[in-house]
Amino acid sequence: MLIFFPSEILAMLIAPKLGEWADKINLALGLIITCTTGALITWFLIHSTTGIGFGLLLIGDAILARVTQLIVANLLSRVSPHHRGRIFGFKTWVAHVGEMIGPIMGGILWDKVGEIAPFFSSIIIELLLIPIFLIALAILSKQLVERIDFNERSG
């Protein structure tokens, strides 16, 4: 907890600045960058040998997770007001299902494959989210009330 707690607190404290950045960046590029960098940081976490190094990497990972959430929220907030509540409700529901399934699957992988398996599966899942995010972005971009002009956004 002494290592995990500060990373989450710091990510929350700088969330307003992260939100400003998430509003300005090209959504597709932002998702690719945050998912790829998050996977890389997880790989470094696996190979970290010191508590301080692990803590610093965890801060970076928490910040990237927060930025990804803000980019997705930016996209979803542009959906028509008639469907916006349903979209955010579904997003929350999926997040809670992931919070439930993740530790169970991680525990099974830990027991059946080895100590590093849950972390490698996390890297794979994070990288597999990139095409899913991009497909969702393409589908949702046609349904948005507020259009996104990717040519103007270079964040």
pLDDT digits (tens, 9 = 90+) for 88-117: 888 899 889 989 999 999 999 999 999 999
Q: Does residue 120 have a pLDDT over 90?
A: yes
What are the φ/ψ torsions at residue 144 (nearest 5 degrees)?
-85, 145
Nearest Cα neighbor of 91 from 74, 73, 67, 71 is: 73
- The C-alpha atoms of residue 47 and residue 64 are separated, in whole angstroms, by 19
The answer to whether 133 and 63 have CB atoms below 8 angstroms apart is no
- Each residue's pLDDT tens digit, 11-50: 888 888 888 888 888 888 989 999 999 999 999 999 999 8
Average pLDDT, the chain: 85
